[in-house]
């Protein structure tokens, strides 16, 4: 997972508006699947005009910002581009560029600052027009692949040793990027079903996991294992991030849906209710309170 030093806005990365403000200089040759086909292997295809990644990205990111918001990171296949810098600046915001060797050739991951992600198949710039056009149109088809398909994984041994295992990707994690929407029972309270509840901000739970673990450290200690029914977005994100020492598992036998089991290295065990990110605020607030054995106090009606 991204470290707290490089995920989202930092002291080195100036905060930016909610969208990239500048329109593209040239409309990128891009086709995206509809949002309804989110379980597809790829989200679309892109046919750049050259092999210079840093030169091509501003126009692409200006268009993807409509769906992702500002972008903070791009992961690309180094075998398919000329050399690129470690970072580039788009509309005054720093975008980190990471070269990973993907199992599926010429795959491009684009990460939004709000934990969204788009995966593109890049058509080489020198592809002839009929072939490239056919590939772009095929990418726009909203037919998802089989349920067993996964996003391409990263060949971690091919990464530089300096970035393969970074100390700041390990616990204890740094200050949370955003305070998680988390409510816990008191330490002296007997948990009948849940020890607390977590209301993540997006469906990409993995991208928010370090913030959650940081908030739970005083109660749980160092986290060793988390069991949950991870969605496809979370599994895909996990597949391309650095190892962080946290073992993610499928649900335990008898584990309830929407329940997350967290186990510390010292055996401390917490069970959280995970509330869907798109739950209306008033409903989520009631579920947070109910999970810890509390109910909303009704205010007296005014005269």
Is residue 63 helix, strand or coil?
helix
The pLDDT-based confidence of 41 (bands split at 50, 70, 90) is: low
Whether omega for the bond prior to residue 254 falls within 30 degrees of 0, making it cis, is: no
Of 32-41, 130-139, 219-228, the poorest mean pLDDT is in 32-41
- Give pTM, 2 decimals: 0.55
pLDDT at 51: 92
Tokens 């470690």 belong to residue: 86
Q: What is the mean pLDDT of the chain?
A: 77
Q: How many CB atoms lie within 10 A of CB 171?
A: 16
Spatial CA neighbour of 272 closest among 281, 263, 283, 285: 263
Higher pLDDT, 190 or 33: 33
Cβ contacts of residue 161 below 8 Å, gap of 6+? none
Tell me the pLDDT tens digit for each residue of 2-29: 433 344 433 333 333 334 445 566 788 9
- Per-residue exposure over 1-37, b if at least 16 CB sit within 10 Å of its own CB, e if not: bbbbebbbeeeebeebeeebeeeeeeebbbbbbeeeb
pLDDT at 248: 92
Tell me the pLDDT tens digit for each residue of 173-191: 777 777 899 999 987 776 6
Tell me the pLDDT tens digit for each residue of 83-133: 888 888 888 888 989 888 766 678 898 988 877 788 898 999 999 999 999
């Amino acid at each position: 997972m991204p470290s707290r030093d490089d995920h989202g806005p930092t002291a080195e990365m100036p905060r930016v508006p909610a969208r990239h403000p500048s329109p593209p200089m040239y409309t990128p040759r891009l086709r995206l699947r509809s949002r309804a086909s989110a379980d597809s292997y790829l989200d679309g295809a892109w046919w750049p005009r050259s092999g210079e990644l840093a030169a091509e990205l501003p126009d692409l990111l200006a268009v993807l910002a409509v769906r992702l918001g500002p972008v903070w990171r791009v992961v690309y296949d180094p075998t398919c581009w000329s050399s690129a810098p470690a970072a580039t600046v788009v509309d005054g915001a720093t975008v980190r560029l990471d070269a990973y060797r993907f199992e599926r050739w010429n795959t491009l991951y684009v990460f939004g600052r709000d934990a969204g992600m788009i995966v593109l198949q890049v058509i080489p710039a020198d592809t002839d027009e009929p072939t490239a056009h056919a590939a772009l149109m095929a990418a726009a088809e909203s037919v998802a692949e089989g349920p067993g398909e996964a996003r391409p994984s990263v060949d971690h041994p091919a990464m530089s040793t300096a970035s393969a295992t970074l100390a700041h990707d390990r616990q204890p994690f740094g200050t949370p990027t955003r305070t998680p929407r988390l409510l816990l029972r008191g330490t002296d309270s007997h948990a009948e079903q849940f020890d607390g509840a977590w209301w993540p901000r997006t469906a990409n739970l993995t991208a928010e996991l370090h913030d959650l673990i940081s908030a739970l450290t005083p109660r749980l200690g160092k986290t060793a294992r988390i069991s949950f029914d991870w969605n496809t977005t979370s599994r895909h994100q996990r597949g391309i991030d650095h190892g962080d020492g946290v073992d993610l598992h499928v649900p335990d036998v008898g584990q309830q849906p929407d329940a997350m089991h967290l186990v510390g290295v010292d055996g401390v065990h917490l069970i959280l209710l995970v509330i869907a990110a798109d739950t209306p605020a008033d409903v989520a607030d009631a579920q947070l309170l109910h999970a810890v054995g509390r109910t909303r106090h009704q205010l007296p009606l005014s005269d």
